[in-house]
A and B are shown apart, each in its own frame.
Chain A
Amino acid sequence: MATPTHLRLPRYRSDPDGTHPPLDFPGYRSTALRHPKQPLVLLPQRLTEVTGPLLGPGRIGELDNDLTRGQAGEPQGQRIIVTGRLLDGDGRPIRNSLVEIWQANAGGRYRHIGDRWPSPIDPNFDGLGRTLTDDNGRYEFTTIKPGAYPWKNHDNAWRPAHIHFSVFGSAFTQRLVTQMYFPDDPLFSQDPIFTSIPDEKARERMISRFDLERTEPEWALAFQFDIVVRGREQSVFEDEEDDE
C-alpha cells in the first residue's frame, strides 16, 4: 500500500476541564489502588485515534432494545421508555452506532453473582439492552425503572437509580461509558460517583428529563437522555507543521 502524504484527518476537541471525573477521587474508595499515579502522556491524534469500530446491525437482535420482553413473563416494576440522540459536540447525529445499556431491576438488584444484597432477583429481568442509532442519531429502549441500591463505599451509602450507557461514536477519541440518572433524585448529594464530576453543569447532563410526550397512556412513562461525545475541530492536513 502506498503511503499517503496528504491524509486529511479530522481532529477531536478536548473537553473543558471539569467535564469528566478525575481518576483519583478519594470519596470513591475503589479509585485508591486503581488510578495511575504517573502523569498521562499526550497522544497526538493520528489515524488510530480518529478512526474507530463501526459495529453494525449484525450484532443486534430484534428484541434487544426491549428489556421487558424475551423472558417467560413480564418483569416487576415501573415500565419506562428511554429515548434520546447520540450527538457529537457540534450537534451532529452519529448514525447507525451501537448503544449498549445495563442496569439493576426495579428493586435495585443486579442479576450478577457479585450482587448479594437482600433485594430479590427478578426472574423476568436480565437488565441488558442493545440497539443502533437511526439516521437521526436516535435510539429507544423500553425497560423498567431501576431501583436505588446500597453499597459499602461509606456509611449508609446508596447509589441513585441509574442506567449504564456505553457508546462508541465514530472514533476512538469519542468512546464513552456513562450513567443516566433520573430527575430530582435525593441521593445525588451523597453519591461520590455522581459528584465526582467537578462541573455542576456537566453533572446535569447525566440526568434524564421526564418526557410527557413520549409516555404511552396506560402503558409506560418516558425519559429523554441525549448523549454527547467530543466534536471535531475543523479539518487539517496531517502533515502540516502545527500537527502536534
Chain B
Amino acid sequence: MKWGSTPSQTVGPYLSLGLPWEDGPFVVPEGTEGAVWIRGVVYDGAGDPVPDALIETWQADPDGGFDHPDDPRGHGGPEFRGFGRCPTDGAGAYRICTVLPGAVPAENGALQAPHLDVSVFARGLLHRVVTRIYFEDQDNSGDAVLASVPEDRRETLLARRTDEGYRFDVHLQGEGETVFFAV
C-alpha cells in the first residue's frame, strides 16, 4: 500500500522558536583544520534582506563520502556532521562553518564537483526551495548539474572566495535569481 505524503507548509514568521540550535552553523567544530566560513544574505524580490529564513546545508566530507547507510564508502569521522543549519538574522545574514567537500561520484565513473545541497525555508515560502553551493576556485568542469543549468544563470550557484572562506547570497526572486532545483 502506498501512503500519500504529508503536504509541506511554511515555517511561518516564528521559526526561530523551534529550529535554531546553538551549534547549528557548525558542520565541523571551529578551528578544524581547513575550516572555512560560508556567509551570505537571503534577499527577496524587492532586493530586501529576508530576516525570517533558515538555511540548511548537507554535504560530503573532504573525501567525498557521506555518513549514511546508503553510502557504504565511509565518512570523515565523528566531528564531521555533514549538516549545517542557520537562521537569518535581522540583516538577512547566515553563516556556516565547514570544510570543503570532496568530489562526489556520479554515474559511469564521472565525478560531481564539490558542492553543498541547500534548503531554504522562510515565512512566505510554502515549501522549501533547494539550491546548491559550488565554489568558484574549485574544478567545476564536467559537473553534470552545473552543465544542466542555463549558462547565464550558472554563476548564481558559485560561492565567491573571501578572506575567511566564501560568500554565497540567495536571491529568492528577481534580478540574479538563484537557480533552484526540483528534487
Which A residues have a C-beta under 8 Å from some C-beta of B? 1, 3-5, 7, 9-10, 15-16, 19-23, 25, 28, 30-38, 40-55, 59, 87-91, 100-102, 110-112, 114-115, 126-128, 164, 166, 170-173, 175-179, 193, 196-197, 201-203, 205-206, 226-231, 238-240, 243
Contacts and interface: CB of A to CB of B under 8 A. Distances in A.
Nearest to A12: B183
Nearest to B117: A48
Contact of B180 (A10, A36, A53): A36
A94 to B, nearest CB: 12
- Top 6 closest A-B pairs, CB basis? A102-B18, A30-B124, A53-B83, A43-B181, A21-B126, A51-B68
Given A21-B7, A43-B182, A49-B183, A5 B112 contact: no
Interface residues of B, number: 83
16 contacts: A1-B64, A5-B108, A20-B126, A21-B9, A25-B126, A30-B123, A31-B126, A35-B172, A35-B173, A37-B45, A40-B180, A46-B106, A51-B70, A112-B17, A205-B6, A243-B107
Contacts of A205: 4-7
Given A40-B182, A46-B112, A173-B183, 11 more contacts: A16-B4, A20-B5, A20-B127, A22-B126, A23-B127, A44-B145, A49-B117, A52-B58, A172-B183, A230-B5, A239-B108
A67 to B, nearest CB: 11
B89 interface: no
Contacts of B127: 20-21, 23
Interface of A is mostly: loop
Contacts, number: 248
Nearest to B66: A51
Q: Which of B63, B117, B181 has the most CB of A within 10 A?
A: B117
Nearest to A112: B14
Contacts of A9: 70
A115 B12 CA distance: 12
Q: Which of A4, A35, A52, A170 has the most CB of B within 10 A?
A: A35
A41 B66 contact: no
A41 B179 contact: yes
A225 B63 CA distance: 40
Nearest to B148: A41
Contacts of A19: 4-5, 7
Contacts of A32: 45, 124
Contacts of A179: 9
A3 B45 contact: no
B128 A177 contact: yes
B135 to A, nearest CB: 15
Interface in B1-17: 1-17
A236 B183 CA distance: 17
A82 to B, nearest CB: 14
Contact of A54 (B4, B68, B144): B68
B1 to A, nearest CB: 6
